[in-house]
Amino acid sequence: MPLMEYIEKYYNGNQASFARLTGVQPAQITQWLEKKFIVVNHTIYSPRRKLDV
């Protein structure tokens, strides 16, 4: 799921709380959201490149 959806679901949309509990600065969360990171099985992933099918 998209990272923002994950934060909304598990942290009531509180990005600062998510940052604190994951051990990063809030600015890092902003960067992850801008880069469209996703969460799969409670693990954060960053998209690297789109693959041609």
What is the value of pTM for the model shown? 0.86
What does the pLDDT profile of the chain (53 residues) look like in tens digits? 999 999 999 999 999 999 999 999 999 999 999 999 999 999 999 998 888 88
Total residue count of the chain as it appears in this document? 53
Please, how many CA atoms are within 13 Å of residue 46, restricted to the half-sphere of its CB?
Answer: 8
